[in-house]
Structures are given as C-alpha cells and as structure tokens.
C-alpha cells in the first residue's frame, strides 16, 4: 500500500470517528486546513479521502464552500435502508456459518442487548455477513453504512430504538443455526425495514418540532 493510501485511510478513520461520536454535524463545512493541522497530514491525501467519502454520499462538494456534510432526507433514508437490506440478504444467502461464527454472533448479540450502542449494532451486522466471499459487495455495504450512521446517531441514547432494532436478532440466529437461511434472510430484511419505519417516523416528528419552533419565533 502506498504512503498516500495509508494517509488517506488515516484521514477517513479520523472523520468516521467524528461521525461515531456525533462531532461531525449535518451541514457542517469541513475545513481542509484545520483538518490538516489536527491530524498532521498534507492536503493532498485529505482531498483524496474526502472524494471517497463524497462517493459514499457522506459529504457533498459545494462550489465556493468546500466539502459539506450532506443533509438527511426521507428519500435517501429509504434508498439506503432498502439497498443495505437487499445486499445483506445476498451476502447472508451466500455465507457458510461454522460453530465459531455462531459463537461470535451470540456473544455480539448479547453485547448489543446489554450495551445498546451503534458500534455494537453495526458490528453484529458485520459479523452476520463477513463470510460472504464477494469482497465488492462487502465494501459497498461498508460505504453505505458510513452514511447510515448519520440517520441513526441521533438515536444513540434512545433505548427504544435499540429494543426495536434488536428484536429480531435472536430469531435470525436461530434460523441460521437450524440451517434455514431463507427464513433468516426474510427476518433480516424485515429488521431493516422496521428500523426504516422508525427513522421515518422520527424524521417526521423532528420536522414537525422544527416547524413549530419556527412559528413560535415568527
């Protein structure tokens, strides 16, 4: 791996860390010079990293402004969740699970129930499809889930979100253990669609609150 590639990945890891912590806000402009000073990397690999994140729709290049974290929309949310659901189903259907894989999944499922964090949630789904041999499919999933974090990070402290998202995980694992992959795939898709409905509901509520607050100011 070239030096520029290493530096580019370091920039991406830094920005993804900010996303996970909620420090990279929607609509925020990314200051290249400030970012360069913060992580001690020249502007060239930073631009490469930002271009890759733009391709993943995490950020958007705005003329005369630079790179900006893209705003959230219900249409994009639907497209993201439906695409991720379909890709995970494909990956699951082409995976082979061994005893060690099931043990890792059950440990992660318990961690997710106990700790209720986005990192634990995304790790559970990563383990669920990691045995898929299609590396392009897995890379695409990883890129899409970077953007998906913006839709879910607002619920990071909402236990009802995790209860909802986790509800079908045990059923998925039971179906896999029974070698009933079609049923596991069906439940997995339902799981993503259930979370999508929740996200849409919360976006509507937040929009209603914003309109109400604006009317009060006027």
Token reading at 164: 């909802």
Residue 218 has pLDDT above 60, yes or no: no
Token reading at 13: 């890891």
Mean pLDDT computed over every residue of the chain: 87
pLDDT interval class at 180 (50, 70, 90)? very high
* pTM, full prediction: 0.81
pLDDT at 21: 75
Report the length, in residues, of the chain: 218
Supply φ then ψ for residue 142, to 5 degrees: -60, -45
pLDDT in tens, 113-149: 999 988 899 999 999 999 999 999 999 999 899 889 8
pLDDT at 209: 55
Question: Please, what are the domains in the chain?
Answer: 3-69 (1.10.10.10), 74-207 (1.20.120.530)
């Amino acid at each position: 791996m070239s030096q520029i590639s290493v530096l580019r990945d370091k920039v991406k890891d830094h920005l993804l860390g900010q996303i996970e912590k909620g420090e990279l806000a929607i609509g925020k402009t990314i200051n290249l010079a400030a970012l360069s000073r913060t992580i001690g990397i020249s502007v060239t690999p930073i631009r490469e990293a930002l271009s890759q994140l733009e391709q993943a729709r995490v950020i958007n290049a705005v003329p005369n402004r630079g790179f900006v974290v893209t705003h959230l929309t219900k249409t994009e949310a639907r497209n993201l969740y439906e695409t991720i659901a379909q890709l995970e189903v494909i990956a699951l259907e082409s995976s082979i699970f061994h005893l060690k894989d099931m043990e890792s999944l059950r440990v992660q499922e318990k961690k997710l129930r106990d700790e209720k964090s986005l990192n634990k949630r995304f790790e559970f789904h990563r383990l669920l499809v990691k045995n898929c041999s299609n590396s392009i499919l897995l890379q695409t999933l990883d890129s899409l889930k970077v953007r998906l974090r913006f839709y879910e990070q607002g619920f990071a402290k909402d236990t009802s979100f995790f209860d909802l998202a986790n509800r079908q995980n045990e059923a998925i694992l039971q179906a896999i253990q029974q070698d009933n992959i079609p049923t596991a795939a069906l439940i997995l898709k339902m799981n993503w669609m259930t979370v999508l409905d929740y996200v849409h509901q919360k976006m509507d509520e937040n929009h209603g609150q914003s309109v109400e607050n604006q009317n009060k100011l006027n």
